[in-house]
Amino acid sequence: MKSSSIYVEAPARLHLGFLDLEGGLGRRFGSVGLTLDDVATKIIARPSERLSVISDPSGRVQKYVEKFIAYKGLSNNFEIEVVEQILDHSGLGSGTQLSIAVGTAISRLFELDCKTSEIAVLSNRGARSGIGIGAFNMGGFLVDAGRNSDSQVPPIISRLEFPSNWRVILILDQGQRGLHGQDEDTSFSTLPDFSSQTAEQLCRLVLMQILPAVSEQNIDVFNRGIYELQGRIGEYFASAQGGRYTSPAVAEANSFLESLGVKGVGQSSWGPTGFAFVDSETNAHLLLRKLQSKFENNKGLSFKIVSGRNIGALVKDLEEKDIEKEDLISLSKSNKS
């Protein structure tokens, strides 16, 4: 075991929609997503006399640790500290990033060199989407190919640099939670049929409009494509989540943005988090002020401006000492520069 501490910073992601829920060509799901900066799960693993987990109110980290120890036959002389965590069940990939971060930290601490895909399978992640795993591994704007009968996790088949000047306004509703666990599984089993024609249209939309728009940094074309994708997927999942959006307040905020001419709006995964794509930091702040003026005091919403992240997780050996939060912030920033 290493004597140093291991720091892992796992970035959040937007899941922008599935492409083929019909599966007639032998693969099902397929998805599009974006890795986010400034929203992440951060943990530290360090040697210790006994196993302990610090700052784990949900108990999820403890379960991941115990499962990994049993799987690899490891000793329990270490501890895991959760420094910061993506909001649970918000549509930002909290469970995937937490489980992979924990497995990666333990693997590095014991010098095991486990692959991210192995950790994801052990944690029951990547069953439908590979975007969270891709976000951890490489960052950027991602497309995965879904799963066939032989796939353990959906492979990433496209990864583009997201334009550095574009911004994402996150619309957060902490009073709501997206579907997860057994409720999510049940919803997938009761959804209506997904037509092959719709799958064809969405695949064409991604290949011939959304991806070229990212490559050419054309936000108008990109936003039109995202709006179309989100509309189709939102309608399909409406019966399971009570409408196109899980949160009525997020729906109202997105409708307000649309009235201002913002087209690239939607919901990440099962929500409740909504988003809007904007072409610059300046315009993002202009819209933020309008959103705050209209909603923040009476709808329970909060807003955050973030960038796309074109790198994956940060995994680093640290000197064995107490790490102040300010040091971790500096570490994170230095990795991006």
Q: Domain check: are 114 and 195 in the same one?
A: no
Same-domain check for residues 135 and 13? yes
Q: Alpha carbon 332 to chain centroid distance?
A: 18
Look at residue 184 in the predicted model and tell me its pLDDT. Answer: 62
Same domain, 229 and 274: yes
Shared domain for 20 and 111, answered yes or no, is: yes
Instruction: For residues 37 and 151, state if they share a domain.
Output: yes
**Is the domain of 327 the same as that of 314?**
yes
CATH number at residue 72: 3.30.230.10
Per-residue pLDDT at 322? 47
C-alpha span between 75 and 238 (Å, rounded): 47
Q: Clarify whether residues 1 and 142 are in a common domain.
A: yes
Angle at 56 between CA 55 and CA 57, to 5 degrees: 105
Does residue 312 sit in the same domain as residue 182? no
Residue ranges in 278-324 assigned as alpha helix (H):
281-291
Range(s) of the domain holding residue 177: 163-306
Residue pLDDT tens, the chain, 337 long: 888 899 999 999 999 999 999 999 999 999 999 999 999 999 999 999 999 999 988 889 999 999 999 999 999 999 999 999 999 889 999 999 999 999 999 999 999 989 999 999 998 888 889 999 999 999 999 999 999 988 889 999 999 999 999 999 999 998 887 655 666 666 666 788 899 999 999 999 999 999 999 999 999 999 999 999 999 999 998 888 888 999 999 999 999 999 999 999 999 998 999 999 999 999 999 999 999 999 867 678 999 999 999 999 999 998 755 456 546 655 666 566 5
Closest CA to 64 of 34, 43, 39, 49: 43
Q: Considering only CA atoms, which of 332, 267, 255 is closest in space to residue 291?
A: 255
Which CATH number is 290's domain given? 3.30.70.890
60 and 90 in one domain?
yes
Same domain, 108 and 22: yes
Strands 52-54 and 78-84 turn out to be parallel
- For the chain, what is the domain count? 2
**Exposure string (b/e) for 291-322, b if CB count within 10 Å is 16 or more?**
beeebeeebebebebbbbbbebbbbeebeeee
Distance separating alpha carbons of residues 69 and 72, to the nearest angstrom: 5
Residues near 196 by Cβ (< 8 Å), separated by ≥ 6?
A: 22, 24
Considering the domain architecture, whether residues 95 and 181 belong to the same structural domain is answered as: no
- State the pTM of this model: 0.92
Co-location of 155 and 171 in the same domain? no
